[in-house]
Structure formats: C-alpha cells, structure tokens
Chains A and B, each alone.
Chain A
Amino acid sequence: MSMESHRGVWIFLEQNHGEMAPVSWELAGAGRRIADKLDTELAGVLLGDNVEDLAKQAFAYGFDKVYLVEDGALKDYRNIPYTKAVSMLVEKYKPEIFLLGATTMGRDLAGAVATEVQTGLTADCTELEVEEDTRLLHAVRPTFGGKLMATIICDVLRPQMATVRPRVMAAPEQQEGRTGEIIREALPMKEEDIVVKVLGYIQENVKTANLDEAEIIVAGGKGIGEAKNFKLVEDLAEVLGGTVAASRAAVDAGWIGHEYQVGQTGVTVRPKIYIAIGISGAIQHLVGMQTSEVIIAINKDPEAPIFKTATYGIVGDLQEIVPALTEELRKRLAGESTTEGVEVASN
C-alpha cells in the first residue's frame, strides 16, 4: 500500500437524532494537534438525516472540512448503512488517520469499517501521539483490566484507525465565525437493502446527573466484599448528606448500577469530598475522581495505589473503620463532642 496516497486526519462526528456525542468534540482537540503536526487537514465525517447544522459547529471546533452524507436511512444508527457510507468515504478520499469515539456506536462502527477497508484498529485509547517523520500514530490503551498500558501502531496499512474513550480529553474552545468546506456524498444503498430495522427505543432515567453535581461522594469498591455490605457505604453517605458511587469492579459484581460508576468508563466527578472505600486506585478509577478537593481512602492494603492520590488515608479493615467513621460523623455533625471528649467548634 502506498502511504503517500493517504493524507488527512478524520474524526467521526457521532450524532444521535441531532445530538452530538461530546466525545466527537473532545477528539477535535487531539485531531487538530495531530493534523497540524503532520501539516495536513482535519476533517469530520458526519452521517444522519438533516444534520447539516452540526457541520457548521464542527468548523467552530477546528475542523477544516466535513464529509456529509444525509439520508432518511441514516436517521437511526444502524451498522449496515453507516459502515457502507463510511467505508465508501474512506476508500474514495483516503485519510491517513481516522478516529472515532469509543462509545457503543463508535466501537460498533469502527470494528466493521476497519474490516471492510482492511486496516488496523486500536480500541479504547486514552492517549494519542504522532511521530512526525514516520507519520505513525501511537495509540496508547489500557490492557489486562487496566493494569498495563500498551502503545499500538499500525505501520503497513492506511488509515490508522483508533477509537478513543469518552471524557479522557478536553474539548477545545469554539472559535466563532470559523468556517470550512462541506463535501456531500450520497448514501450508496437503499432502505430496501437494509435488513435491520429499528423498532423503537427504551429511554432510561439516567441517574448520572446527581453524581456530576454531588458535593460529597462516598464510593465503594471490590473490597466491600458482598452486596449487603454496600449498606456501610450508604450509611456513611447518608450521614454526610452525600451520594454513593462505585468502582467498576463493584458495578461488575452487581452490587450497584452502572450509573454510579466513577472513572474513565463511568462518570467523572469533582466533589468537595471523595471517600474511596475498598478501592485499589486503578488509573481508570483515578482519572474520574482525582480532581476532587479532598480525597479520603480507606483500604487494608498499605501499598494500594489509592493512597498515593488520597489527601488522607486510613489503613485498615473497612468493616471496622467505616461504621466507626459513620458514628463519629453522626455525633460531630450534630454538634456533639467525640467519644473521647474532644471539644468541637460549633457554629
């Protein structure tokens, strides 16, 4: 494959019924930086029904061009027509780098497109770098449950494709009045040829909103041990007037719903106080809470990485520490003195 024939950095502009996935704008910053380094253009790929307005927004976020495919058949995301349209664009306009958000849509689409256009794909990256002379993309991703980071490269095929985790990069500022070029293409298939039909949606009350805004968060991890022990976390949260949250391991164990997960694949939080109970402090958890004002860690393992990020740590068994802490706070917040008779300032 001739590498010189492929130029330009592309980003899939993921929209759902007219609403942009934030990750697309988050990617704009990294995309712009890479495109500038390679002295090439930054282009967006936008598919949907009546979505041209979003192309204009893309220019404000730093895109030079938007490849736009509008068709009634693209109103709802379906793998078949999206793969067909995106593969057609890639084969016709030959980008050298193509990035998508690692959302359900982005991962579904990327896997199919990479296979169709026959190139390498790196999933779920958290960092992107590019080598100027070789023009190689270095896509950094966690493996082995996040315990190890690996840099993946694709040196013989183009485009170099990667999906990038939402919320690991910051969206750039919008530049009002910035414009660019729209290149239109038609969907190369008809509705009759699409064997998958969307029958409807089930909307869910996503409870993430309170976590985003919570001032005090008490989070439980795998160290909680079993579902009924989550009560310890809830009791402490209640005394503090805070919200409960969890690590992915606790969510995977089924002790609490997805919507309470803090971290790279969950919610990013920034409360005044974050209490991590039985959480080891894997990097994917830390990136979601490290900017909290005060971090308190309770863990029986003195070597747990969470202690490196915590403002205060207590080494010990959570079964002992947490009830004691809850009780102490109950008294002190009510203005009573401690069990040991220490005088408390009350207002």
Chain B
Amino acid sequence: MHVVVCIKQVPDTTEVRIDPKTNTLVRAGVPSIMNPYDIHAVEEAVRIKEQVGGKVTVITMGPPAAVQVLKEAVSLGADETVLVTDRVFAASDTFATSYVLASTIQKIAGSEPVDLIFAGKQAIDGDTAQTGPGIAQRMNLPLLTYVEKVRSIDVENKKIVVERRLEGSKQIVESTLPALLTVEKEINDVRYATLPNLIKAATHNPKAWDHTVIEADRTKVGLKGSPTRVGRSFVQQLTNEPGEIIEGTPQEAVVSLVDKLFAEGHLVADR
C-alpha cells in the first residue's frame, strides 16, 4: 500500500494579529506550523501502513523553509518526502496548487503506483477546502471528503470503506482504490513521535523538485495559472454602540452587574 499525503506549512493563525493602526496583518514573529488537519492525515497514513504494510510519501508545495514540516512528518512515521519548490509557483491559488500537486503525485506514481492520497480537510490560512477536490478531479480519482473514520481497507480487492461527516449525520461509503481522502481531526489521535523517528527526522533530507521535474506547464502555475485574484483586503468591524464597562474590584463589578440585570428586569428572583 503506497500512501501519499499532501501537507501544507501555514502561519499559526491563532498567533496572527491585526495592527489596529494600519489594519494589516502582523505576520512578523508568527510561527509556521504544519496545518493541523494535515497532521491527522499523516498519522492516518502511518497507521494504515502499520496495519497493512507499505510506504508513506509526504509532499508539500512551498518555499524551501517548508522542509520543516516534512521533517515533522518523518518524525510521525513518514518514509519519504518531497518538497515541490520553484519560484514560478509563487502566488498560486487552489486551482494552480492542485495542478502542481496532481503533477507531483503523477510523477511519484510513475515510479511507484499510488493507492491512496490524503489531504487535510482544509488549510487554516485560507480555510478553502478546495485543493483536495481539485487534485482528485485532475487525477480522475474518487473523492471522499470530511472523513472521520477509515472503517476498513481491502488491499486485495482494492476497496476502502469510510465514514464521512455531513451536517447532522455521517455517511458510510465504499470506494475503489486509488482514492483521495480529506480528513477531519476526529479521524485519530496523533501519537507522540518515537525516538528512532525523531532521530531519522533530524537527519532527513527531502527531495526538492521544481516544475521541470514534475513536468508542469509554466503557464498553468503561479499568478498566470490562477484564475482567482485577491482584490481588496480589510478588517471587518461591526458598527454598534460600545457597551458599558463596569469598573471596580471583581466583587464590586459583579454586584453592580447583577444589580443592573435585576433593575432592568432581565432577571427576577424566585421568591
């Protein structure tokens, strides 16, 4: 079983702030992390390898610094990694990104057939959830999004059964392999990296491929290959009356708040 996992390095959006004066994103000093959903994708791939045997290859498209997340994937149990990196990829939207990643997977499959592809449900920097569906469509593979559980894998008959999250229910589906799955965090609990894997990660050197290696058409990547463009960006604010801050020590503030709630009739005592 050869599993390929697509991971993305993202800024930790919980650390991103908006400069109140300029209304722009403050990214300086914000750590880069592996997209949280992708960690679960790597974990699931490694679990499947442990269960049925095989190999896990992790790929990312990004700047040279993205080597970091590939090393982290190795610490979680990945066998091989590829950094797809090239200046011409800069400013790719999800349409162009899925082209680059699909081309990369096709290249990998050329030397070693791929049975299963994992992506995260979405990347937290953009929350688009479009890259996975884009790759599946380009490779003409069945797409199973929002997977919360892999129920079974039948290696011999090349079949997989998963549970997918829907609004208010889960759908149980069977698909032929190869297939592309995007995963929710519920799919597993990520285990701690083992010492041997940590050592392996420390010395690991990902392959670096540019557009020529994956035989990608230059006009289909980067800004040129991206149909969407970002126009204006801004900070959204609600326009309403600011509220009243209740001053005092915690105890005073609490009493005065409760007084107001009673006085205004929002609360009434039981007796």
Q: Closest chain B residue to A320 by CB distance?
A: B250
The verdict on B28 contacting chain A, using a C-beta distance below 8 Å, is: no
- A:284-301 near B, CB below 8 Å: 286, 290, 293-297
Q: Give complex CA distance A324, B146 in Å.
A: 42
Docked-complex contact A145 and B172, CB < 8 angstroms: no
Q: Give the tally of cross-chain contacts (CB within 8 A).
A: 266
> Known: A334-B270, A347-B269. Contact between A144 and B125, CB under 8 A?
yes
Looking across the interface, which residue of chain B has its beta carbon closest to that of A124?
B127
Docked Cα-Cα span, A78 to B258, in Å, equals 53
Contact partners of A144 in chain B: CB under 8 A: 11, 13, 16, 25, 125
Task: Determine if B44 is an interface residue (Cβ-Cβ < 8 Å).
Answer: no
Interchain CB contact under 8 A, A114 and B243: no
Contact with B along A110-137 (1 / 0, CB 8 A): 1110111011111110000000000000
Cβ of B257 and Cβ of A314 under 8 Å apart?
A: yes
- List B contacts of A186 (CB < 8 A): none
Q: Which chain B residues border A201 with CB–CB below 8 Å? A: 169-172
User: Is B229 an interface residue, CB under 8 A from the partner?
Assistant: yes
Whether A149 pairs with B233 at a CB distance below 8 angstroms is yes
A111:B238 contact, CB within 8 angstroms: no
| B10: min CB distance to chain A, Å | 9
Contact flag A338-B130 (CB < 8 Å), given A104-B165, A148-B25, A310-B243? no
Contact flags A326-346 to B (C-beta < 8 A → 1, else 0): 001100111100111010111
Q: Are A324 and B251 in contact (CB under 8 A)?
A: yes
B171 — which chain A residues lie within 8 A by C-beta? 76-77, 198, 200-201
Write the chain B residue with the least CB distance to A294. B266
Chain A residues lying within 8 Å of B257, measured Cβ to Cβ, are 296, 312, 314, 325
Q: Of the 9-residue stretches A3-11, A35-43, A60-68, A151-159, which lies at the interface with chain B?
A: A151-159
Assembly CA distance A257 to B137 (angstroms): 33
| Known contacts A151-B230, A316-B253, A332 near B243 by CB under 8 Å | no
Residue of A nearest to B132 (CB): A111
Q: Are B227 and A309 in contact (CB under 8 A)?
A: no
Interface residues contributed by chain A, number (CB under 8 Å): 98
- Of residues 243 through 271 on chain B, the ones whose CB sits less than 8 Å from some CB of chain A are 243-246, 250-251, 253-255, 257-262, 264, 266-271
Q: How far is the CA of A202 from the CA of B163 in the complex (A)?
A: 9
Q: Select one of A283, A309, A314, A346 contacting B254, CB under 8 A.
A: A314
For A325, give the chain B residue with the smallest CB separation.
B254
Q: C-beta contact mask, A36-57 vs B, less than 8 Å → 1, else 0?
A: 0000000000000000000000
Verify A204–B258 contact, CB threshold 8 A.
Answer: no
Nearest residue, chain B, Cβ from A290: B238
- A120 contacts B234, C-beta separation under 8 Å: no
Interface check A197, CB cutoff 8 A: yes
B111 within 8 A of A: no
In the docked arrangement, what's the CA distance between A328 and B254, Å? 7
CB distance from A89 to the nearest CB of B (A): 16
Instruction: Report if B124 contacts A (CB, 8 A).
Output: yes
In order of increasing CB-CB distance, the 5 nearest A-B pairs are A111-B133, A120-B227, A145-B13, A120-B228, A123-B128
Q: Which residues of B contact A (CB under 8 A)?
A: 11, 13-14, 16-18, 20, 25, 93-95, 98, 124-134, 136-138, 142-146, 161, 163-176, 226-238, 240, 242-246, 250-251, 253-255, 257-262, 264, 266-271
